[in-house]
């Protein structure tokens, strides 16, 4: 069952989207059970939400080739652990015994620790800052703000901080959750007239770790509540750790008072992994599954998967699950067959789609991109859109020029060269382009 669940994860990621997958599907753990899938979640709220919104999709993905669907049970992890401890069948053990922990909000990913985090040039500063926070919470780097493109390891790093803090002091009061979960908890508290309990719960923690804070943008009530929670914790010297897909100044519709709070600590970013780091990550992830991976196979997985760490994990999961289910060896030929490109991206993307994505990211209109405005913000956004149109949609220079207000094709050539040069020299530009390319691929 665990192997089938691992094989289903990449397809679930595609069907529910990156944000929903990270928030609601990735935290689910599949326990061993002879009667079907037992999917463990962290709370009643989590159980109800997944049942209502994602269970039909999960059933669809887990349907086997012969049309049969095994039994699927969504259980709260604490209840299931207590039940199996007293009524376990002889000779069976829980899939992942839970270590005793102090009171906390949210659920940690068991494998996301400092020991399993691959460190390299692309993430060393963020790693050292996270280590420092874990060693002396509330004293240095408060808040710690980690930003980077989708799937580069931000969630792994903050889980590692949480694990380390709880190892040092198991009864530490800790909240580690996504910004969307914070907002959903707030909505539930408002509907049930439980705001006092909501505030007491979050403002009493020793450490608050919030993932994907860009999700707060434009949500005035949630921002207001988080602002007061932030102030209460910071004034008390309690540690705050935040992640985002962009730096504070680039989060549109984020209140200035929150932006200033975020910028009052240490801001660090994570870049895309280098080729050697990618091989090391694949090797490390395989070792966590108890599988020694030949270097040539690891290198091929790293080469054939997408640019982010998350896509690396998805590709590796597919390879390992297929090898286990079919009983075939882990060889380069298997990777070649499984990870061969299905269709060229250029056949799926249009210049119009890229213009729309870039306009949303830079908060300019598509008409601005097509206009002859020369102010810096619009010019750079236009150059990025032209660059993406050429590099991933593979549209000709004259056609791109026509789509951008009937310009001369030499203007597009200059824009592509300018962005290429900036990508090589400026890590922030490289990270920005990776984010846009990943989002375009996912859609």
pTM of the model: 0.59
- CA 120 distance to own-chain centroid: 19
Cα–Cα distance between 428 and 420 in angstroms, integer? Answer: 13
pLDDT at residue 288, rounded to an integer = 80
With vertex at residue 25, the alpha carbon angle to CA 21 and CA 29, rounded to the nearest 5 degrees, is: 150
Ordered by where they begin, the domains of the chain are 1-98 (3.30.300.180), 104-270 (3.40.50.300), 345-442 (1.10.1750.10)
With vertex at residue 111, the alpha carbon angle to CA 117 and CA 88, rounded to the nearest 5 degrees, is: 165
The pLDDT of residue 350 is above 70? yes
The pLDDT of residue 244 is above 90? yes
Cα–Cα distance between 195 and 382 in angstroms, integer? Answer: 45
pLDDT at residue 442, rounded to an integer = 59
- CA 377 distance to own-chain centroid: 28
pLDDT at residue 91, rounded to an integer = 33
pLDDT at residue 92, rounded to an integer = 32
pLDDT at residue 150, rounded to an integer = 77
pLDDT one-digit tens code per residue, 60-114:
888 877 777 788 998 887 554 444 444 433 333 333 333 333 345 667 887 889 9
CA-based nearest residue to 134, from 245, 205, 201, 209: 209
Q: 162 or 3, which is more confident? A: 162
CA-based nearest residue to 361, from 304, 426, 436, 286: 436
The pLDDT of residue 194 is above 70? yes
Please give the average per-residue pLDDT across 182-206, as a whole number: 88
Quick one: pLDDT band at residue 340, thresholds 50, 70, 90? low
Asked whether the CA dihedral 301, 306, 181, 132 is positive or negative, the reply is: positive
Is residue 135 reached through a cis peptide bond, with omega within 30 degrees of 0 on the bond before it?
A: no
Do the Cβ atoms of 154 and 209 come closer than 8 Å? no
């Amino acid at each position: 069952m665990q192997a089938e669940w691992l094989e289903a994860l990449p397809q679930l990621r595609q069907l529910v989207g990156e944000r929903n997958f990270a928030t609601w599907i990735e935290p689910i753990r599949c326990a061993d059970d002879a009667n079907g899938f037992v999917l463990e979640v962290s709370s009643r709220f989590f159980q109800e939400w997944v049942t209502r919104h994602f269970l039909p999709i999960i059933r669809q993905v887990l349907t086997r080739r012969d049309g049969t669907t095994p039994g699927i049970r969504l259980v709260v992890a604490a209840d299931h652990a207590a039940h199996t401890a007293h009524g376990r069948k002889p000779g069976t053990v829980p899939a992942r015994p839970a270590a005793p922990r102090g009171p906390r909000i949210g659920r940690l990913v068991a494998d996301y620790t400092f020991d399993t985090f691959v460190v390299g040039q692309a993430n060393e500063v963020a790693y050292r800052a996270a280590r420092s926070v874990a060693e002396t919470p509330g004293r240095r780097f408060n808040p710690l703000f980690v930003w980077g493109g989708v799937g580069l390891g931000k969630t792994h790093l903050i889980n590692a901080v949480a694990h380390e803090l709880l190892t040092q002091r198991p009864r530490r009061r800790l909240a580690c959750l996504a910004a969307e979960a914070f907002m959903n908890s707030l909505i539930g508290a408002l509907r049930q007239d439980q705001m006092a309990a909501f505030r007491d719960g979050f403002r009493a923690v020793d450490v608050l770790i919030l993932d994907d804070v860009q999700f707060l943008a434009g949500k005035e009530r949630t921002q207001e509540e988080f602002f007061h929670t932030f102030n209460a914790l910071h004034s008390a010297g309690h540690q705050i750790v935040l992640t985002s897909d962009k730096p504070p100044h680039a989060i549109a519709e984020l209140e200035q008072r929150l932006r200033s709070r975020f910028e009052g600590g240490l801001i660090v970013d994570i870049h895309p992994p280098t080729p050697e780091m990618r091989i090391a990550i694949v090797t490390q992830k395989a070792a966590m599954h108890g599988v020694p991976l030949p270097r040539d196979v690891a290198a091929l997985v790293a080469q054939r998967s997408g640019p982010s760490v998350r896509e690396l994990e998805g590709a590796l999961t597919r390879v390992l699950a297929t090898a286990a289910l079919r009983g075939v060896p882990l060889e380069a030929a298997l990777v070649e067959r499984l990870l061969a490109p299905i269709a060229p991206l250029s056949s799926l993307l249009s210049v119009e789609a890229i213009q729309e994505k870039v306009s949303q990211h830079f908060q300019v209109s598509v008409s601005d991109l097509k206009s002859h405005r020369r102010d810096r913000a619009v010019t750079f956004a236009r150059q990025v859109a032209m660059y993406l149109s050429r590099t991933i949609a593979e549209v000709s220079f004259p056609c791109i020029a026509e789509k951008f207000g009937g310009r001369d094709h030499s203007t597009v050539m200059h824009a592509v060269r300018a962005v290429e040069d900036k990508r090589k020299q400026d890590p922030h530009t490289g990270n920005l382009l990776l984010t846009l390319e990943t989002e375009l691929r996912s859609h």
